[in-house]
């Protein structure tokens, strides 16, 4: 076998090996496996894209819900503040009205006490004046003057009443 060199033997072995691979359909199997793997990767990419889009949609939905919840919370807080301010104003007005009523009642009591005291002073003064007049009249009038006074009083009453 001198007629073949080592390089030629190696080349022939390579050709036989490639022929065996083609005969056993190894390249087609490798291409089929690669195509299958390529399709699986494409499917996974498509699925990942779909999942990403779903996740983005969910994110937008939750962000919208969060914004809506924040707006509702702000509205509730604003309404509570307005309500608290209204209640505070109502309470202040109620307290002012109560204070005004109490002040009016106190003024009325003071005025009533003044009127009562003035009436009592007048009554005491009238009683004292009557008592003093009675003492003076009794001391200065004699029987004849008393009779004349009575007669004049009776005449005055007849004139007025009858």
DSSP assignment of 87-131 equals HHHHHHHHHHHHHHHHHHHHHHHHHHHHHHHHHHHHHHHHHHHHH
* In-domain check, residue 130: yes
Kindly provide the b/e burial profile for residues 8-40, where b requires at least 16 CB atoms within 10 angstroms of the residue's own CB.
Answer: eeeeeeeeeeeeeeeeeeeeeeeeeeeeeeeee
Query: Which pLDDT does position 1 carry in this prediction?
Result: 47
* In-domain check, residue 65: yes
Domain range for 62 is: 6-161
* In-domain check, residue 132: yes
Question: Per-residue pLDDT for 134 more than 60?
Answer: yes
* In-domain check, residue 66: yes
Kindly provide the b/e burial profile for residues 88-107, where b requires at least 16 CB atoms within 10 angstroms of the residue's own CB.
Answer: eeeeeeeeeeeeeeeeeeee
Query: Which pLDDT does position 21 carry in this prediction?
Result: 84
Question: Per-residue pLDDT for 83 more than 70?
Answer: yes
pLDDT tens digits, 98-124: 999 999 999 999 999 888 888 888 888
- Segment 75-94 mean pLDDT: 93
* In-domain check, residue 46: yes
Specify burial of residue 6 (Cβ count, 10 A radius: 0-12, 13-18, 19+).
exposed
Query: What's the number of domains the chain is made of?
Result: 1
* In-domain check, residue 1: no
pLDDT tens digits, 34-66: 999 999 999 999 999 999 999 999 999 999 999
* In-domain check, residue 86: yes
- Inter-residue contact 31 to 37 (CB < 8 Å): no
* In-domain check, residue 64: yes
């Amino acid at each position: 076998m001198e007629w073949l060199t080592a390089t030629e033997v190696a080349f022939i072995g390579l050709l036989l090996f490639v022929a065996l691979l083609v005969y056993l359909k190894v390249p087609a199997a490798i291409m089929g496996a690669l195509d299958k793997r390529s399709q699986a990767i494409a499917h996974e990419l498509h699925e990942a894209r779909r999942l990403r889009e779903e996740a983005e949609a969910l994110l937008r939905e939750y962000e919208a819900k969060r914004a809506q919840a924040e707006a509702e919370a702000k509205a509730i807080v604003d309404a509570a503040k307005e309500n608290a301010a209204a209640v505070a104003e109502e309470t202040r007005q109620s307290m002012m009205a109560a204070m005004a009523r109490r002040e009016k009642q106190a003024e009325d009591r003071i005025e009533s006490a003044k009127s009562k005291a003035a009436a009592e002073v007048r009554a005491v003064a009238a009683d004292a004046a009557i008592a003093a007049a009675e003492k003076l009249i009794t001391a200065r009038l004699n029987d004849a003057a008393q009779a004349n006074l009575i007669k004049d009083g009776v005449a005055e009453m007849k004139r007025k009443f009858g």
